[in-house]
Amino acid sequence: MSAVASSFPLGAATTLAELTRDPHARLALLRAREPVSWLPALSGWLVTRRDLALEVMRDAATFTVDDPRFSTAQVVGPSMLSLDGDRHARHREPFNPPFRPRRVRENFAASIEQETGRLIDRLQPAGAAELRRAFAGPLAVAVVTDALGLAGIGADTVLTWYDAIVRSVSEITAGREAGPAGPAAYAELRAAVESTVADRHSSSLLLAAAERLDLPEVASNAAVMMFGGIETTEAMITNALLQLLRHPDQLALVQADFDLLDGAIEESLRLEPGAVVVDRYATRDIELGPAAIRAGDPVTVSLAGANRDPAVFPEPDRFDVRRANARLQLAFAHGPHHCVAAHLARLETRIALEHLLRRLPGLRLDPDHPAAPEGLVFRKPPTLHVLWDRPVGRAAHADGA
């Protein structure tokens, strides 16, 4: 593809390190001058303009996920995430009912409130915490395991599986050997799913899905749901809190009117989506923007690039909790593979952020531990260290204990 690369010099000069560390300036340049560009670093096309991103994600017949190179399928096998058409519908439909908009709040709000309160109760006396793994991760695990009905598995175990599988997917996307940790973690998850399904006295989404899907299919889709749910929500909470704490003027607006919190969440999703890219594969020759794509070519949609398209979002790099069209962001993808649990992720993040801001007075970033999002495929800060003002009575008791 050297002849193709020479036609896209900006893409040829783009590195994986740049896309992992701080991609936005490079994505803006690509979007303006090479909105569909060949990136040798990815061995494929990168789409950064929002209208073209939508075209790709809407047309599953031309841009499919059903390809042996699809990274997630290499780790967990075929699932709703890696199939199209009738097979996609067959895998997805058994998991849809609890996550429809009208059912999400009645099914999950009370348990999210309870778990959020429990986690903050444990953190509150200390006056400091690393919130990604002390709060956002455990909350996401508790909610998604409850939603699936996966019983008897601790949050630490699930997070260990999750880390290994996400790392494997990221390594494959970057063109590197993933190693055995991801498949080994998935084997443990699959055994837990099989144990849950075998308990016919239980009532769970997994058991209901097993009435319509084979057991390996239930396990692969459970893995996609679980790790999609953890990744999406852990990143949403962490990224949104980081944006608010970095922008005191916007935080003040939210604290004066918590109705603005929904806008803050959408704006954070726009600026830093937890999943940065989605992968597709061309099934036929097609012209897309300035590119002549050939059948079989990998086509990666940059959700991060599309979300900062100035044709849709004026001043696209500015965090504005009152942005009127922030919900046009594409963090949950689009088309047939739009995130099945997007409404649950929004509800969970909304409850989590409101409780944190109400119950931890003076919440602020810890200046001794800088935080910044990073990641080639999944993007969030590795850690989010924060401080807050401890209640005087509790502080005195703790200091004197």
Across 21-25, 150-154, 329-333, 365-369, least confident range = 150-154
Domains, the chain, in order of start with CATH, read: 2-400 (1.10.630.10)
What does residue 44 show for φ and ψ, rounded to 5 degrees?
Answer: -170, 180
Pairing of strands 298-302, 44-47: parallel
Residue 152, pLDDT score: 77
- Identify which of 52-56, 73-77, 105-109 has the greatest average pLDDT: 52-56
Is a pLDDT exceeding 50 seen at residue 256?
yes
Beta bridge partners of 387: 128, 364
Q: How far apart are CA 157 and CA 138, in angstroms?
A: 11
- CA–CA distance, 267 with 174 (Å, rounded to integer): 28
Q: Is the pLDDT of residue 400 over 50?
A: no
Residues forming beta bridges with residue 38, ordered by sequence position: 45
pLDDT of 13 strictly over 80: yes
Does the structure show a pLDDT above 80 at 200? no
3-state secondary structure 60-107: CCCEECCCCCCHHHHHHCCCCCCCCHHHHHHHHHHHCHHHCHHHHHHH
pLDDT at residue number 2: 63
43: alpha, beta or left, given left = phi > 0 and alpha = psi -120 to 50?
A: left
**DSSP classification of residue 136:** I
pLDDT band at 153 (very low <50, low <70, confident <90, very high): confident
Query: Stretch 301-328: mean pLDDT, rounded?
Result: 98
Order of strands, edge to edge, in the sheet holding 364-365? 128-130, 385-387, 364-365
What is the pLDDT at residue 398? 41
CA-CA distance, 239 to 237, in Å (whole number)? 6
Q: How far apart are the first and last CA of the chain?
A: 68
Rounded to an integer, the average pLDDT of 231-256 is: 97
Residue 1 or residue 120, greater confidence: 120
**pLDDT tens, residue by residue, 172-199:** 988 888 889 999 999 999 998 888 888 7
Encoding tokens for residue 339?
């995130």
Specify whether the CB–CB gap between 30 and 11 falls below 8 A: yes
Cα distance between residue 108 and residue 347, in whole Å: 9
Give the residue from 93, 234, 217 showing the smallest Cα distance to 166: 234
Across 217-237, average pLDDT: 91
Could you tell me if 157 and 255 are in contact, meaning their C-beta atoms sit under 8 angstroms apart?
no
Mean pLDDT of the chain: 93
pLDDT of residue 264: 98
Q: Identify the band that residue 38 occupies on the pLDDT scale cut at 50, 70 and 90.
A: very high
* pLDDT at residue 201, as a whole number: 61
Residue 116: closest CA among 356, 305, 342, 358: 356
Query: Which whole number is the average pLDDT over 227-255?
Result: 95
The residue-averaged pLDDT of 236-252 equals 98
The fraction of the chain above a pLDDT of 70, given in percent, is 96
Q: Could you tell me which of 334, 214, 356 has the C-alpha nearest to residue 273?
A: 334
Cα dihedral 199, 205, 210, 216 sign: negative
* Rounded average pLDDT over 281-305: 98
What pTM does this model have? 0.92
Per-residue pLDDT band at 232 (split at 50, 70, 90): confident
